[in-house]
Structure 1
Amino acid sequence: MNRYVVIDLETTGHSPTKDDRIIEVGIVILKKDKIVDQYSTLLNPHKKIPPFISNLTGISNEDVKDAPSFFEKAEEIIELFKESYLIAHNVPFDLGFLNTQLAINGFQQLKNPVLDTVELSRILFPQAPSYKLGQLAEYLGIYHDEPHRALSDAYVTGKVFLKLKEKLWALPGETIEHLIRLEKKLKSDLYPLLLERQKQLMYEEIVQKNIATYQGLAFKHIEVPQVEHGVEHVSFGDFLDSIYEENGALQNKLSSYEKRDGQREMSEMIFDAFQLQKHALIEAETGTGKSLAYLLPAVYEAVYSERKIVISTFTTQLQSQLLEEEIPLVRDIVNFPIQVALLKGKSHYLSLEKFNHELASPYEDNYDVVLTKAMLLIWITETETGDIEEIQLPTSGFHFFKKVSTESEGYIDPSSPWFSRSFYQKARKKAQLASIVITNHALLCTDIFNEYKLLPSYDKIIVDEAHHLEETASRHYGKKLDYISMQYILNQLGTTEETKFLGKFIEKYPYKQHHLSLEKWNATLSDAKYEIDELFRTLFQYVMAQNSKNKSLSDVGRIQYRFEDENEIPDKWKAIREMASRVSFYLKDLIHILTSIERDLLKEETFEKFDHDELKGNIDQLQSFIDRLAELFFNHHGEKYVKWMEIETHGAKNAVYLYSEPTDIADFLTNDFFTKKKSVILTSATLTMKQSFSFIQNRLGLPSDLVLTTKIKSPFSYKDQVKLMIPNDFPSIKYGKPDDFIYATCEAIMSLAEITNGRMLVLFTSYDMLRKSYYLLKEIMESDKYMVIAQGISSGSRARLKKNFQTFEQAILLGTSSFWEGVDIPGEDLSCLMIIRLPFQPPDHPIYEAKSEHLKNEGKNPFMELALPNAVIRFKQGFGRLIRSASDRGIVFVCDSRMITAKYGSYFRDSIPEVPITNDSTQKLMEQAKEWF
């Protein structure tokens, strides 16, 4: 069958069973890889088209008034699908809708073989940033002239299918064979196409460039580049002159280059710190161009001293920016070779050996796992890193990836053929050979506090986004335990009858020796699961029963409760500790059974390495649960550690998360990091409070005699680009009237949206307030004029919400926690930033409370030493969302009058760039805003 019919429908809504109807059909027909015909018709749905659909499609009630009904066109449409594949971008929707309408109108439903371009794009283009039709078309270089019109969408879907077919035809035979085995679980009827490609490969002698194969698996062949030496020496001053100054390399390479004095100042400061073997704190305000400013001295130092420089970032977004934008620019402007490597933890990298083993598994997988396997098969023929963050896996795909990541491998013998093919080992080798190693704070902290070193040896490091180092180090030193993780591991182990880990294991190794141990397994597993459930349910009830003492709300709406000895309620707490003890007891029993099986099987020659690794991995996982239970319930560190629980009030009655962290990480960092390294450069846009670095210095334990500090001013003209407005007539939130405050907030959002045409980012400090504001806004808006996107309510990741915000002409984005930083929305996409409250952590937040007590006991003022500096740094992060380039203009509207009325208000005002501040009635501020825009 070589005829493909592509269909796209526009409808009045998503549910054909709830009386939604088709308003437009677009069809294109493909033969011999060309579009040969098309068909399009509007249909009268005999009901009103919702305004949202009219806005989206441009189809109005007037347009369909005289159009034929579906019944009149049904036979014509059915005829087009004779003896052909049916293709759609999301087949379940289009075919489901069409078949429901056919059935309602008394026609036979279509039973054609289908090809779903969403599913096939996920498999064949696993690195695409999005699978929405418009964004996918853009990624594949396909022009889309009328999005959300049926014929145009069908035409683009047809073009996408041809690209998919072309990609399929370029795959190696080994990959095709694996896809044939997986195909029956896919939505798309791909078997005939795969078979056709397989036959073609039999007759063609195709040598595929850059593809290596081993044990039936095809993957990209990667060479680890050799290091080039021998660079003619120039002084650092001459080096910078040749780049930054007039007619320098930057001016020659970048047509838009404008010299920024602060950028060169920062480069010089870092070079001085390296030479003097001192640490440095550098606050570089927005627009400094700090990435380039620190890369140049890093590259110079690494190349001329032949010593490795490490660069650590907090977000993967910044890592990508360094690798994809900054490093290529640096390579372009310096005239010597630079080797740069990115190194992450083992859990990020795919193990080819484990993946190959899983592909051979005879057991049935669910759809998500099959889709994940298919995506990985294509991805390994393209990826040079094996880093899973390059692709977007389906939800349960992450559980599968855990099983096949390098972390699950156990020990690999360097003489094993897989060792030289390992993505992680290649990444480590590249890092050993590189002059610059880029990593993240999490791996850096693992390396700092571990005896086994993960990073290559280094003595100079640049820590970007350094305001996150303290929390990452604390988290690293702490412990975490939750119900879902524990039950997931026990469910994966399974009973002896299930086809989970143990069931498969004893089927493969049915030796008599361990039958005695196995008799106890099912009962012990059942008891362990029961006790875990009881423990977490009791913890949930325990937290709910507490009065407000020690309880607070997290910024994502979880109830938090701090605990330690719980002396005031000894009986209840004693019962909880006994439960935790019983859980540990059953987990030890499970470990005992697994280790006796391991002991028996080690005597057998047929015991496979994979199975031994998986068995050991499970034993280690159970042991880590025992260690964490001991730390959380039985070890007392006094005020040195804080322990707390978080519960989901709307979740299951056992959705409890337990945490333990040190209250002060400074001594650990001083002893294990700062005194061991020659030079640590800490940089961020937000390190100071009221121009002083003392807060961050104390929190990180930086010895002051060894630290250079400087603040680099922004080149932006904030005085002309920003207006800061603070209303003086908002209802006080203090005296028990939060609803009045929320109402005033929503009215101000609506008024500002009218002035700025949407384009607003609204930052909240509490998820609860965000939620209430969202629903109130939906209520008081007369129409769907503005698209309101809310974190935690609208579905999608932070990046997805930001993308959606930029897609809509008139949109308002409500965010909390992670939206205060790292969200870049340059230009006219963002004209107004609204900050609802000054970002103080609630005084009853467990970590803050414990740190406060610790400071009080040291005779210090917790508000001035902790609460205020943290809030100011957070505020500066939020403030920095608005102006991202020299041409940006906008308003920052702060609804919290404490910025003016409180004694500490000046700390906030003096910590941001100098901008005109207006404190007036809301009405007057709106008039001024209108005038200013």
Structure 2
Amino acid sequence: MALLVHDALAQKKHLLVEAGTGVGKSLAYLLPVSCWCLTTGKRAVVSTYTVNLQQQLVNKDIPLVAQMLEGNLGTLNYALFKGRGHYLCLRKWNRIYEETLSRLQLVQADEDDKILETLSQVIDDGSWDGDRDRLPFHISNQLWSELCSESMRCMSGRCPFRESCFYQRHRRYLESCHLIVVNHALFAANLRIYDDTAGRTSLLPGYEAVVFDEAHHLDTVFRDSMTFNVGHNHLRRLSDDTLRFISRDPLSQLINPHERSRVQSDLAHILGLMDAALAVLSPDLLYNELRYSRSYSRYAGRDKYRLQQPGSIDDRIPESLRNLSRVVADWASLDLSDEDRFDINALARRYMEMAQVLDSLNALEGDGDSYVYWSEIEGRGRNKHVTLSGAPLEIGPYLAENLWTAVPTAILTSATLSTGGSFDYIRRQLEIEAEEAVIDSPFDYYNQACLCIPKDDRGSQPNNPAYDDYVSEMVLEIVDLAQGRTFVLFTSKKSLQAVSSKLRDRIEQKGYPVFVQGDMPRQALLREFKQSGNAVLMGLDSFWEGVDVPGDALSCVVLAKLPFPVPEDPVMEARETLWRAQGLNPFTHYSLPIATLKLKQGFGRLIRSKADRGAVVILDTRILTRQYGASILKSLPPARLTNDLNDIARAIAPAN
């Protein structure tokens, strides 16, 4: 693999390379990329999806490579760079802290005030780099949102704190780095900003090579970066920021009470109009209108509804937002400091941008051809609210125009890029032309693992209401055979809750601790599972990949259902319609490759070293009875195939 990466860099080509578990792909690309950086003086970016991989690269793998190359090629400079929201904005901090000190002369400190005082001590100490993740204490998301750096509110070179700015200090250091590690979301944001500003602005310094590890996520991440949304919470925050601004000096003195009252009244009116519009577009209400149709049972209870009727948003909302934008912009002519004038102009732009988003949603621009729009229920209980969103259907043309032709070398790697030995799916989705290679895992899957698919008719009907009962019965038997030490991975929260509530007490009575996703944070859940040594963990999407449990603590992975994408998702629904119009079969074009890659990820949780042994159990027997099953099985690691659950115990038993 290292030679393939070396050649791609030397020949300025793109490369798709699937590297099986245990290959050591991180070192296989880091070594040639680092050599290339040091010998050419050019810069490379390494982009990952998960934080865990970022930490592994920066704290373990890159230092090892740097040490290996130090004597011959020189010092390798590298850095982990995060989005600006991770860093404290000193300008915002200075204002909020001064206001807090003034207020505390009159009232007693609450919990947030105490956090601010502790934060002040950390800042004064001078050893903190401004990164929230490096704080020695917890700070709430709500409080951090008032303190963190934001692009819309950044004065950049005009900021009075520009020399000491944490975020800019990190950015300046990047100029001296050969290697920059980021996540996919930040890379996608950088590309979007660079494109929107015709190359005048970027988050990252120039680079001539990029490595995308965990590259199977690129389609989703780049689409998310181009997705826009608006809802009550967005408008509420804009309203709160405005009211807070005009209630403090100098605007509280410069704006007459009548105008201030009128702004408050206008904001309350717009919020009322927005809530009324969102209520009408709530998926609950829209699906309820289908209750007498044959499709109601298919959609009932879903959180998203595709919007296909233009003009569904009250025109008074975007018009009122534009009016308020003009009112706010007029305040910039008052006797203000440069800093206050900047904040006012930024506030006015936010109103105008929200109006433009609502205009796009109201017109449904490009609906079905290039974009899809939907309403979505987010939160639960008192925090339940409706958000309106829009997203591009395909991101391949965007990447082809703005990335693959712009960067000389892109390396895309993952343990799961191909299906049936072919890269056709990933090439189609990303519209990339590249060299291709599959590097097989060094593990002896045939002797280290078995793949058990029970022959049970109940397993062929995963949409039957009784399927969860079948899963529960099978999991109970499997847990005994594996003596705990099992992951049970689901594709839906509803099934997870149904099975876990039915089995938790019964499994724990056998002496095996049960951990269910949602009980505690993901990392805490994983830590408890490892420490227990004989536990059962039931999880959703985030446990299908990026989880490493070598050794005896995990000896069995149960996959409750084949992970096909939900066809009723608005983006998926619109893409299927588009593909059919293009003469493509959505199932073979998209759903089957997605399920295959996801299943490979789930399987990959089991064998993490040459010493590991165990069993993967797929309870969805469609993999045996449907024509597509052979294609999926061909893509999985070559473990011993069995239909007998008793083979699980034999697979887990120590090798002779």
After superposition, the C-alpha distances for 1:308-346 in whole angstroms (9 at most, x for unaligned) are 111111122211111111111112211221111222222
1:470 matches 2:200: no
Is 1:282–1:683's contact at 8 Å kept on the other side of the alignment? yes
Q: Aligned pair in 2 of structure 1 residues 719, 800: CA closer, same or farther (>3 Å)? A: same
Question: Which residue is 2:512 aligned to?
Answer: 786
RMSD, aligned CA: 2.7
Letter of the 1:699 counterpart: Q
Question: 2: CA distance between counterparts of 1:429 and 1:320?
Answer: 21
TM superposition shift of 1:782 = 7.1
Normalising to structure 1: TM-score of the pair?
Answer: 0.64
TM superposition shift of 1:787 = 2.7
Question: Which residue is 1:274 aligned to?
Answer: 9
Secondary structure of 1:828 counterpart: coil
Question: Which residue is 1:311 aligned to?
Answer: 46
1:356 matches 2:90: no
Secondary structure of 2:181 counterpart: strand
Question: Which residue is 2:440 aligned to?
Answer: 713
Question: Which residue is 1:874 aligned to?
Answer: 598
Letter of the 2:440 counterpart: K
TM superposition shift of 1:653 = 8.8
Question: 1: CA distance between counterparts of 2:463 and 2:168?
Answer: 59
Is 1:770–1:815's contact at 8 Å kept on the other side of the alignment? yes
Aligned counterpart in structure 1 of residue 317 of structure 2, from 579, 583, 586: 583
Q: Aligned pair in 2 of structure 1 residues 800, 313: CA closer, same or farther (>3 Å)? A: same
Q: Aligned pair in 2 of structure 1 residues 270, 596: CA closer, same or farther (>3 Å)? A: same
Aligned counterpart in structure 2 of residue 908 of structure 1, from 617, 632, 652: 632
Letter of the 1:658 counterpart: L
> Relative contact order (alpha carbons < 8 A, sep ≥ 6): 1 or 2 greater?
2
Letter of the 1:442 counterpart: A
Aligned counterpart in structure 2 of residue 300 of structure 1, from 32, 35, 41: 35
1:388 matches 2:132: yes
Aligned counterpart in structure 1 of residue 171 of structure 2, from 405, 420, 428: 428
After superposition, the C-alpha distances for 1:541-567 in whole angstroms (9 at most, x for unaligned) are 53342437499779xx8522112237x
TM superposition shift of 1:492 = 4.3
Question: Which residue is 2:455 aligned to?
Answer: 728
After superposition, the C-alpha distances for 1:641-660 in whole angstroms (9 at most, x for unaligned) are 12222225953595223221
1:692 matches 2:428: no
Question: Which residue is 1:618 aligned to?
Answer: 347
Question: Which residue is 1:53 aligned to?
Answer: none
Secondary structure of 1:860 counterpart: coil
Question: 1: CA distance between counterparts of 2:279 and 2:183?
Answer: 36
Question: 2: CA distance between counterparts of 1:735 and 1:296?
Answer: 46
Q: Aligned pair in 2 of structure 1 residues 735, 430: CA closer, same or farther (>3 Å)? A: closer
Is 1:483–1:654's contact at 8 Å kept on the other side of the alignment? no
Is 2:459–2:470's contact at 8 Å kept on the other side of the alignment? no
The count of aligned residue pairs is 635
Secondary structure of 1:910 counterpart: helix
1:328 matches 2:63: yes
Normalising to structure 2: TM-score of the pair?
Answer: 0.90
Question: Which residue is 1:128 aligned to?
Answer: none
Is 1:481–1:628's contact at 8 Å kept on the other side of the alignment? yes
Secondary structure of 2:568 counterpart: coil
Is 1:645–1:656's contact at 8 Å kept on the other side of the alignment? yes
How do 1:35-114 residues align onto structure 2 when only pairs under 5 Å count? none
Q: Aligned pair in 2 of structure 1 residues 648, 584: CA closer, same or farther (>3 Å)? A: same
Question: Which residue is 1:454 aligned to?
Answer: 203
Question: Which residue is 1:347 aligned to?
Answer: 85
TM superposition shift of 1:353 = 3.3
Higher Cα Rg: structure 1 or 2?
1
1:504 matches 2:234: no
Aligned counterpart in structure 1 of residue 279 of structure 2, from 537, 550, 556: 537
Aligned counterpart in structure 2 of residue 444 of structure 1, from 187, 190, 193: 187
Q: Aligned pair in 2 of structure 1 residues 881, 736: CA closer, same or farther (>3 Å)? A: closer
Question: 2: CA distance between counterparts of 1:848 and 1:474?
Answer: 12
Question: Which residue is 1:822 aligned to?
Answer: 546
Question: Which residue is 2:408 aligned to?
Answer: 678
How do 1:757-906 residues align onto structure 2 when only pairs under 5 Å count? 757-778=483-504, 780-781=506-507, 783=509, 785-792=511-518, 794=519, 796-906=520-630
Letter of the 1:504 counterpart: R
Aligned counterpart in structure 2 of residue 520 of structure 1, from 262, 265, 287: 262
- Aligned identity (percent) is 29
Question: 2: CA distance between counterparts of 1:929 and 1:317?
Answer: 29
TM superposition shift of 1:928 = 5.0
Question: 2: CA distance between counterparts of 1:877 and 1:340?
Answer: 29
Secondary structure of 1:622 counterpart: helix
Question: 2: CA distance between counterparts of 1:288 and 1:374?
Answer: 49
Letter of the 2:273 counterpart: E
Question: 2: CA distance between counterparts of 1:552 and 1:468?
Answer: 28
TM superposition shift of 1:785 = 3.1
Secondary structure of 1:844 counterpart: coil
After superposition, the C-alpha distances for 1:464-517 in whole angstroms (9 at most, x for unaligned) are 1111111111111221223333323323434xxxxx3332246x64126x5553
Is 1:340–1:435's contact at 8 Å kept on the other side of the alignment? yes
Secondary structure of 2:612 counterpart: coil
Question: 2: CA distance between counterparts of 1:588 and 1:753?
Answer: 61
